[in-house]
Amino acid sequence: MGKRAFCGVGNTVRSYGLVALLALGAAGQQGPRVTAPQAPAAAQAGPDVKFTSTANLVVVDVTVKNPKTGQTIDDLTENDFAVWEDGKPQKVSVFEHEKLALEPEPPEPPPTLDSQLELPEDPKTMITTEGPGKVQYHDKRLLVLFYDFSNMQVPDELRAQDATLKFLDKQMTGSDLVAILLFTSALQVKCDFTSDRAQLKSVIENLPIGDQTDLSDVADTGDSNEEDTGAAFVADETEFNIFNTDRKLAAIEDAVHKLAQLPEKKVLVYVTGGISKTGIDNQAQLEASINAAVKSNVAIYPIDARGLMADPPGGAASTGASRGTGIFNGSQYNAQRASINDSQETLATLASDTGGKVFLDSNDLSLGIVQAQQQFRSYYILGYYTTNSALDGKYRKITVKLKTDQVAKLEFRQGYYAGKVWGKFSGADKEMALQQALSAADPATDLPLALEVDYFRISPTAYYVPVSVKIPGSLIALAAKGAGGETEFDFVGNVMDERKAVVSTFRDYIKVKLDAGDKERLATRNFHYDAGCTLEPGRYRIRMLVRENQSGKMGTFDYRFVVPDLAADSMQLKTSSVIFSSQREPIKAAVGAAEKSDRKTLESSPLMFGDDKLVPNITKVFRRSQNLYITFDVYDAAPDPAASKLRKVAVSMSLFNQKGMKAFETSPVEATEVASTRPNAVPVEMQMPLKGLAPGRYTAQLNVVDQVGRRFSFPRQAIVVQ
């Protein structure tokens, strides 16, 4: 069905290059939210300024201040400005002055007896626009209050609620229009831009305090300085931390896209409990969120809702002591401070790179909103049609000056990237762009990816390593073909060892065709790509690049992983990676494949069960309506004395809630058969419905017992049920 080329150094690459279109695993994963359409809001009073929809129009917002007093200069006209792009003068074709008040409005009078019985008007739950580029809010300050409840504890949420009510009642000005956004498991528009204080206060008073707070804590990574919960075994939940942070940053990007149609300046006040990154693994999504904000003319003003934090050595009364000796040698205190600084550093990056400011270490959170409000002064909207019509994707530098001799300080964006027509790329250009993106230090972020790498032993010195990649279908635009659609994907991946030598390479070109039903459901589906390679035990790094060839969007994922040596002597029972899944799909349901006749590779995959393929749930987030499928291999179990070809392996699963209490336990299942394609490996399959579980975060512990050899293993994995 397509062409494929592989190469390897000392190892064999085995790939079946399947692409399946799968339903989303849970709310909160990548993809747009569908909202019922509503009538657009009425335009504010003022002259109509219309921006023609064209790729050549460039909009620049300019704030002009007196350098000595800091006061804005509001008496300029279109003829006072001169604009250059890459040193070439440009003609200002669109001009609009937005004059904003800074003095707070007086508090609303006490309600009368009649008005007390009146309910506020229902808020509009979508950001409405009058068309791309059209100014609809004249002389208005657009404030977006964005509350990330997935990142805040209940006391912080209550503090943020009180601070917002104080701002609305006493500090809101006549120029302010406020929109309210909320993120728990999905981004919600709670209220469109409005100056109706009663409506805004009603929305704030009814925020779901406590919803999704179980996702606000950083999951355990097994470090000795972390809290001692009394558990006998501690799971390394680093992968969950990566996903949890990415979904919060992706919510910011989603919010920015909702505001992109408005050409006015926008201030996004991001109220949160800090965002802790996991090394460089979250850098791609962080850059994507920042780039989207800059392109959409959105300045982010993060507010740390934790306020002024005491940091006693060993933690506060709500935190258990560390499981190691860090409290005695100072390393635990250093780890505490590093964790707090890391969570605030991400907020500072969002602010500085988008033109905003961060508000930290203050219990009066309303001052943070006022800070964003006061920084947002009167400004001018300038629009020009660039004389450089080349769609080359290059950076264009913008310069704005005053024609008069008046001394003033001008604030404006310094440039933009021109568009680039993907359809005009030659085959050589496309291949060069692919290789450049794979080797570039900066990740490609147009197409967000999620990736999982697992391992299964196939000989004493070789391991089969399945690689799974998830791509959100909502970002893929299909070419029309009848009632369905089609597109093409390039998948390229390098696996490098500790010496940075490439030991395995993936390269698949896959055509995808969908019928009419699949095309309609694309916004709520994911594309899932499967491949694999054979590696020796060791430490590796995989860099995966995916390109969708209709739009040219690319995304990269850089991940380090370890293939352990399970042949080494150990008293503990040895297992493969544990695969958690919510879907088993027939191979015939795949919407694309790299080859038509790679049946042997498919049959030898540990994820194949007859004609069905187990699809790993990469994010480990499940819906209560789904079934949980678990599969893994148990190695070197002792033979059954009554039948030497059989084994006696008993497996059960326990689910523990955030308090460490056992919430559920399955009955033991017994695995006895040895896999025909993996020597001395006993495959284990389990299935359980999730409908009886309360939503929240759990630790799934598998209790694996070799009943003959009397050895044990207790692998753990963090999961989220919604």
pLDDT confidence bin for 8, thresholds 50/70/90: very low
Answer with the one of 599, 616, 633 that is the final residue of a domain: 616
Higher-pLDDT residue of 462 and 363 is 462
Give the pLDDT mean for 118-147.
Answer: 78
Q: Are residues 626 and 611 in the same domain?
A: no
Q: Are residues 567 and 634 in the same domain?
A: no
Dihedral over alpha carbons 283, 287, 293, 295 (to 10 degrees): -170
Any idea what the Cα angle at residue 693 is, between residues 688 and 695, rounded to 5°?
125
Return d(Cα 78, Cα 60) in angstroms, integer: 13
Q: Give the CATH number for residue 185.
A: 3.40.50.410
Residue 265 is part of which domain span? 118-375
Answer with the one of 616, 649, 676 that is the final residue of a domain: 616
Q: Are 510 and 491 in contact (CB under 8 A)?
A: yes
**pLDDT in the model for residue 238:** 53
Residue-wise pLDDT for 484-493, tens only, equals 678 889 999 9
Residue at 573: amino acid letter: L
DSSP 8-state class, residue 593: E
Does residue 37 belong to any structural domain of this protein? Answer: no
Return d(Cα 147, Cα 184) in angstroms, integer: 9
Give the pLDDT mean for 57-86.
Answer: 89
**pLDDT in the model for residue 213:** 63
Does residue 581 belong to any structural domain of this protein? Answer: yes
Q: Give the CATH number for residue 65.
A: 2.60.40
**pLDDT in the model for residue 14:** 47
**pLDDT reading at 179 higher than 60:** yes
Q: Are residues 255 and 123 in the same domain?
A: yes
Q: Are residues 481 and 592 in the same domain?
A: yes
Does residue 17 belong to any structural domain of this protein? Answer: yes
Residue of 72, 251, 99, 253 whose CA lies nearest to 173: 99
Residue at 460: amino acid letter: P
pLDDT confidence bin for 462, thresholds 50/70/90: very high
Q: Are residues 140 and 202 in the same domain?
A: yes
Return d(Cα 96, Cα 61) in angstroms, integer: 9
Using a 10 angstrom Cβ sphere, with 0-12 exposed, 13-18 middle and 19 or more buried, the burial of residue 405 is: exposed
**pLDDT reading at 410 higher than 80:** yes
pLDDT confidence bin for 669, thresholds 50/70/90: very high
Q: Are residues 526 and 635 in the same domain?
A: no
Give the pLDDT mean for 387-403.
Answer: 84
Q: Kind of pairing, strands 266-272 and 298-304? A: parallel
Least confident of 173-177, 485-489, 579-583, 681-685: 485-489
Higher-pLDDT residue of 590 and 55 is 590
Does residue 41 belong to any structural domain of this protein? Answer: no
Q: Are residues 297 and 163 in the same domain?
A: yes
**pLDDT in the model for residue 268:** 93
Q: Are residues 152 and 127 in the same domain?
A: yes
Residue-wise pLDDT for 432-442, tens only, equals 778 777 777 66
What pTM was computed for the model? Answer: 0.58
DSSP 8-state class, residue 44: P
Least confident of 35-49, 115-129, 261-275, 467-481: 35-49
Least confident of 162-166, 366-370, 611-615, 702-706: 611-615
Q: Are residues 324 and 464 in the same domain?
A: no
Return d(Cα 610, Cα 602) in angstroms, integer: 10
Give the pLDDT mean for 528-535.
Answer: 89
Least confident of 21-30, 416-425, 429-438: 21-30
Q: Are residues 336 and 447 in the same domain?
A: no
pLDDT confidence bin for 83, thresholds 50/70/90: very high
State how many domains the chain has. Answer: 4
Residue of 8, 12, 19, 9 whose CA lies nearest to 508: 19
**pLDDT in the model for residue 31:** 31
Using a 10 angstrom Cβ sphere, with 0-12 exposed, 13-18 middle and 19 or more buried, the burial of residue 234 is: middle
Does residue 107 belong to any structural domain of this protein? Answer: no
Q: Are residues 224 and 276 in the same domain?
A: yes
CA-CA distances (angstroms) from residue 423 to 396, 474, 513?
Answer: 22, 21, 19
Structure tokens at 377: 């002064």
Structure tokens at 534: 């054979």
Q: Are 527 and 21 in contact (CB under 8 A)?
A: yes
**pLDDT reading at 23 higher than 80:** no
Mean pLDDT, the chain, rounded, equals 79
**pLDDT in the model for residue 424:** 62
Answer with the one of 571, 588, 616 that is the final residue of a domain: 616
pLDDT confidence bin for 210, thresholds 50/70/90: confident
- Beta-bridge partner residues of 398: 85
Tokens 């050409």 appear where?
263
Cβ atoms within 10 A of the Cβ of 432, count? 12
pLDDT confidence bin for 353, thresholds 50/70/90: confident
Structure tokens at 166: 């104080």
Does residue 274 belong to any structural domain of this protein? Answer: yes
Q: Give the CATH number for residue 677.
A: 2.60.40.3880
Does residue 108 belong to any structural domain of this protein? Answer: no
Residue of 462, 466, 454 whose CA lies nearest to 536: 462
Q: Kind of pairing, strands 484-496 and 538-548? A: antiparallel
Return d(Cα 657, Cα 27) in angstroms, integer: 20
Higher-pLDDT residue of 435 and 220 is 435
pLDDT confidence bin for 568, thresholds 50/70/90: confident
Higher-pLDDT residue of 377 and 90 is 90
Q: Are residues 236 and 155 in the same domain?
A: yes
Does residue 105 belong to any structural domain of this protein? Answer: no
- At a CB cut-off of 8 Å and minimum separation 6, what does 708 contact? 637, 638, 639, 640, 641, 647, 648
Higher-pLDDT residue of 270 and 227 is 270
